[in-house]
Structure 1
């Protein structure tokens, strides 16, 4: 993999904003008042959402990372465990692409990823039941 360079930073930020808007539409903020409705947006972007009766928190960084983690009482710990994580990395061709923690390319944002997110949430819920 190639290293991220200084000239990649504007793209990372723009892609992070694009992904944030896409995720927020799919996983609405349950807190009131709803933050992030007006520019400028400050990073990291955080909001809480409810899935399958559990509270989770999305965290989007301006360096191209997306994390879904515990957001209820368990989420109050310093670094709650991630349920789902993707990051932007440079591939062999020098092109930035979304990857899972193992470095596998992932189509994102893409509706197909919603199934993977749901599977990860279900795995967590099953593990604590």
Structure 2
């Protein structure tokens, strides 16, 4: 499977995959604050952000319409702006006109499955262990 360069004409594909993963993330990681909750059908402007609680810590999901998702620290006194990512994935383009989620190293991942949830939880666990 040969990797291809993403072009401006691929925007609809990136947007589609962002909206699909948004549904998955909202189902599996709902907002910790019901008054700030968004829905997958929300017509809000991207990027969409919401806070979640995972393993006792508060994080923030950021979903971009350009095919990226980031889980980052949400409530940390040191990182009030641009907190470091705990988990990141983006969409890559492959022959023949196939779009797949990738980890930061460019490895294709099945983000919207149990294995994707495991990857996310492993990154959260690694972060939490580094803090103790």
TM-score, length-scaled by structure 1: 0.90
Consecutive unaligned residues of structure 1, counting only runs of 5 or more, are none
* Separation in 1, partners of 2:38, 2:110: 25
1:72 corresponds to which of 68, 71, 75: 75
Question: In structure 1, what is the Cα distance between the partners aligned to 2:24 and 2:104?
Answer: 21
Give the RMSD, CA atoms, in angstroms.
1.7
Gaps of 5+ in 2: none
* Alignment equivalent of 2:46, drawn from 40, 43, 46: 43
Specify the alignment match of 1:60 in structure 2. Answer: 63
**Would you say how many aligned residue pairs link Structure 1 and Structure 2?**
129
1:36 deviation in Å?
A: 2.1
Q: Which residue number corresponds to residue 96 of structure 1? A: 99
Are residue 106 (structure 1) and residue 109 (structure 2) matched?
yes
Task: Provide TM-score, normalisation by structure 2.
Answer: 0.88
